[in-house]
Structure 1
Amino acid sequence: MIIFDLICTDGEHRFEGWFGSSNDYADQQHRGLLDCPVCGSANIAKAVMAPNLGRKGNQQPVVSRTVDDRPEPPTVAKPVINKVAVPAEYQEMIGKLVKAQEKMLANSEWVGDKFADRARDIHYGDADEKPIHGTASKEEVADLAEEGIAALPLPLPVLPPESKN
């Protein structure tokens, strides 16, 4: 996983995006799948990020001295933990949602970015009727809706089968 700081160029809203790789980010950006969680704008770019670099191996830590010129023990930096406390009832609810989605997708076929085409084929009788899931841009979903083809977003993200270990 790679985390990018993203910025909405319309409203200058900053947020994080988690991607499987830099190529995943570029692909989602190209297909218009990224939007601002604050205002919904699709004008998203990577924000400038400072690299997380450690101290060089040849650099010594700065040792401060006490009043009587004895070295103070070096302070140890504590790791920053970005863990948010989630109430137990939310954890339970998310767990139930995960199980429900897994049950829904158990008999569904992953069609990747061919979702809109496959949904049309099924709707118009050119393919056997069966549950499918995949990815589609906002425009593709809007076009499907105009044609009377129902397509609903999944409540939780789904990793493509080829991305799973």
Structure 2
Amino acid sequence: MIQYALKCADGHSFDSWFQSSDAFDKLHAAGMVACAVCGSTEVEKSVMAPRVQASRDKAKAQPDAPSRPLSEPASPAEQALAELRRRIEANSDYVGRNFAAEARAIHDGEAPARSIYGEARPDEAKALIEDGIPVAPLPFRPQRKSN
């Protein structure tokens, strides 16, 4: 596996893994490498520094460099998703796995109108859409709340 730093024509930078250099070339030529932010297929490799692993003895002797916490978004796309999540969680009620029933009750006027989010099986979401109940998938998994 090889990781490439990539950049699209709009200037978005992102990383992607490929099975080999040849695999990247074939996928790129077929227009199957797309920007992770905007979807553009006008993508090229960015300048990257090679990652060479230090010997085990040397790695043990040197303390690790400070790194970014895993919970901190790195790219603009990750930051936008984090902000979207924050807004949805702050302005909507989490209804958990009862999402389909609650969405239907709101649509039918049996429950108070409000913004909700939760979890639904694909067949439940499809039934809501077929019945004209507006729903949309979220680009993240809800954090399950307990009590």
Relative to the length of structure 1, the TM-score reads: 0.43
Report the structure, 1 or 2, having the larger helix content: 2
Relative to the length of structure 2, the TM-score reads: 0.48
